[in-house]
Amino acid sequence: MKMNSNGGMQLLIRITTLVLAVFSLIAAFGYSSRAGTGFSRAIIIIMILLIVFLVLENISYGKHLKRTVSKLSSMIKNNEKESMRHFPAPAVIIDADNDIIWANDFFKDKLFGDTNLFGARLDSLMNIDMHNVYSENGDLVCVGGRFYNAMAVHSDRTKTMTMIYFKDTTDFVELDYETRQAHKSVIIIQIDNYDDLVRNSLESEKAHTMVELECLVENFVKDTNSISKKLSNDKSFVIMEQRYLSKIIENRFKILEDARNIKVGGSQSVTLSIGVGTCADDLAQSESYARAALDMCLGRGGDQAAVKTESGYEFYGGVSKGREKNTKVRSRLMASKLAEIMQGKDKILVMGHRFGDLDSIGSAVGLVGAFRSISKEAYVVVNEETCLAKSLIKYISDHDISKNFISPQEALNKMTNNTLLIVVDTHNSEIVDSKEVLDAAREIVVIDHHRLMVKAIEGTALFFHEPNCSSACEMVAELLQYLDNGIKLSPLHAEALLSGIMLDTKNFIMRTGVKTFEAAAYLKSLGADTVEVKKLFANSIETYQEKSALITKAEIYRKCAVSCTTESFSNIRIAASQAADEMLGITGVNAAFVIYGDENNANISARSMGTYNVQVLMEAMGGGGHQTMAATQLKMSVSEAKKKLYETIDDYIRNNT
């Protein structure tokens, strides 16, 4: 209510009259003192009475005004209470312990019926984050199937009581959910090595296979409003809403398993690579994501699905062994491209991964020996203190008087704008032997056989990646056969390459293909001595004892042999990897893991015979590698790493069996 404006006017008139009366009285006193007549005295008395009357009148009016204001204040408070009770949104007042001390009718009736809410904790009645409630945007809560945005308003400066009101945002939340569910994603499905699958098949078998694959894709989009288009014999394109894609992801792309049940010619199984682009701004970006995801799948050996969003990749499947490509066309093309890049370069530096092994150092030595045979200045960049292939470095240094190995600091001093850097046996920028050398290089070539990882070196002049090769040494041996007719690899450098092949294949037992033996035969023809190579694998008696101790500590968990140690010794990495290899010989063991480190860091060496894909296991823990050989490093204690490994094994078995 507003105060009557007439009352204010009357108060102003009274005050004005009083002021005039006071001035008149003063004037009358002045006149009386000069004239001294009885009339003047009468005027003074009248003026005094008038002033007294006005003063009493103003006092009476002030009391009336106070009563009016008090009445108005009471009416306003009553109106506030009624407004709070009938506030058109649920509202509640809580104390410092989040206990409810008052709730309006809307809150009680619409959210909780006739329930007695006094004294109940607000966060026990609903799933509400009290920290978010006090933020600028509030907290989204769901009560009774409806969504509310809960926001807090402090009722006093001490913040002992807080009013929280709930704005109904159900329509907005449902609209946002429907918009996200209707978002279009792009899926590209490709048959792995289609040409190799059907090369020796009968036409009827090809036709039968194609019908089965087309039925597979049709069932994949069945009961959805998706659009599918066959792009070629081995590739299909699908546009699908997120609501249906979410179910496919939840089922971990069952189409991969269904594809493996299709046999070509009654023997070979079909495998698929699936690239998914989702959560993009538009269809064009979704397609770009899908193509990048498909490339990632192919680089990881196929038989898997990759889902790419703006934030990164998620992988599903990848349990089958990659198929070896018998064609050498790609190697010849890569050799031709490398020859072009080498033209005019003043120096060539070759660098492997951190803690370089025989494959990393051996492939680097093979390239340097080849480049020097055609009068190129070339060096192997290696940190000899942390290198695990000291036996090979010593063997090369003892038999070659020229300087083959330089430190990362020496490499930085030698590097110019016209220097080529070749990275071997890794494509991960985080694990190269020297990040500084990599960053300083103007032109980079990558030669690697590990399954593609997200942190790949970018901006390369040449990226030669073959995940189906046994080793980087095999790739280099094949590359050198096409690189330059003037190359004459010495037996010493051929033995370095052969040592890497023997290491990664476990003496030609694991991951071997036709090209592996062809590369070994080529190196043998150059004079490589297998006896000398075998000597590079010799261990000291201390390392052998340490390896045996690790094997003794092993325990079996879900057909996996796991050994842990917190002891530290000079050759712990070599002993751990060799112990993991030997534990595969235990009956019933599908995979072997050795965990070593201290209270702050843990390292895991993982090996398998192919039944378990340890690359997928280690990648789930932040590492990577091959299906049969992988590793990871963790910022935690050995006991914590063991617990996490067991959880990862459980998840892997749950999702792949």
Radius of gyration over alpha carbons of the chain, in Å? 42
Mark whether 187 and 173 lie in a shared domain: no
Strands in 334-406 per DSSP E: 347-351, 378-381, 405-406
Among 39, 54, 85, give the residue marking a domain's end: 85
Q: Over the stretch 462-490, which tens digit does the pLDDT of each residue have?
A: 999 988 888 999 999 999 998 877 788 99
Residues in the chain where the model's pLDDT stays below 70? 1-87, 113-115, 154-159, 265-267, 319-327, 657
Q: How many domains, in total, are found in the chain?
A: 5
8 A C-beta contact, residue 290 and residue 275: yes
The answer to whether residue 524 is domain-embedded is: yes
Cα separation, 619 vs 318, whole angstroms: 12
| CATH classification at residue 517 | 3.90.1640.10
Q: Does residue 616 contact residue 442 with C-beta atoms inside 8 Å?
A: no
Residues 388 and 520 in one domain: yes
Kindly state whether residues 495 and 547 are assigned to the same domain. no
Contact present, 327 and 405 (Cβ < 8 Å): no
Joined tokens for residue 307:
């889902």
pTM above 0.85, yes or no: no
Q: Give domain status of residue 612, yes or no.
A: yes
Q: Cβ contacts of residue 440 below 8 Å, gap of 6+? A: 412, 415
Instruction: Answer with the one of 284, 317, 350 that is the final residue of a domain.
Output: 317
Q: What DSSP line would sit under 583-598, residue for residue?
A: HTTSTT-SEEEEEEE-
139 and 242 part of one domain? no
- 593 neighbors 645 (Cβ within 8 angstroms): yes
Tell me how far apart the alpha carbons of residues 73 and 1 are, in angstroms, rounded to a whole number. 9
Q: How far is CA 234 from CA 122, 198, 245, 295, in A?
A: 58, 11, 22, 15
Which CATH number covers residue 128? 3.30.450
For tokens 């209510």, what's the residue? 1
Could you tell me if 373 and 477 lie in one domain?
yes
pLDDT attached to residue 1: 40
Residue 473 placed within a domain: yes
**Cα torsion at 470, 475, 476, 480 (round to 10°)?**
140
The predicted pLDDT at position 269 comes to 80
Residue ending a domain, among 85, 111, 129, is 85
Q: Which two tokens stand for residue 337?
A: 């491209």
Nearest to 132 by CA among 148, 111, 143: 148
What was the pLDDT predicted at 24?
Answer: 59
Question: What string of H, E and C letters represents the secondary structure of 17-57?
Answer: HHHHHHHHHHHHHHHHHHHCCHHHHHHHHHHHHHHHHHHHH
Torsions phi, psi for 54 (to 5 deg): -65, -40
Backbone angles phi, psi at 626, to 5 degrees: -115, 175
Q: What is the pLDDT of residue 44?
A: 61
Do 561 and 515 reside in the same domain of the chain?
no
- 563 in any annotated domain: yes
Is 324 part of a structural domain of the chain?
no
Is 323 within the bounds of a domain?
Answer: no
Same domain, 408 and 372: yes
Write down the H helix ranges in 425-540: 435-440, 472-483, 491-504, 514-525, 530-535
Spatial distance between the Cα atoms of 386 and 367, rounded to a whole number of angstroms? 21
641: which residues sit within 8 A by CB, 6+ positions away?
A: 595, 597, 602, 604, 634
Same domain? For 135 and 73 the reply is no
Both 529 and 640 in one domain: the answer is no
Long-range CB pairs of 128-136 (<8 Å, 24+ gap) are 130/98, 133/164
Calculate ∠ Cα 358-361-363, nearest 5°.
Answer: 95
User: Residue 624 maps to which CATH number?
Assistant: 3.10.310.30
Same domain, 410 and 465: yes
- In contact, 614 and 599? CB cutoff 8 Å: no
State the Cα–Cα distance between residues 68 and 4, nearest whole angstrom: 10
The pLDDT tens digits for 432-450 are 999 999 999 999 999 999 8
Are 260 and 271 within 8 A, CB to CB?
yes
Q: Answer for the pair 489, 369: CB distance below 8 angstroms, yes or no.
A: yes
Do residues 269 and 277 touch, judged by C-beta distance below 8 A? no
* pLDDT the model gives residue 2: 44
Full domain range(s) for residue 166: 91-177
Tell whether 226 is covered by a domain: yes
Whether 187 and 300 map to the same domain: the answer is yes
Q: How many helices (H) and strands (E) does the chain have?
A: 25, 25
In this structure, is residue 173 part of a structural domain?
A: yes
Residues 359 and 507 in one domain: yes
What is the reported pLDDT for 32? 53
421 burial level (CB within 10 Å; 0-12, 13-18, 19+): buried
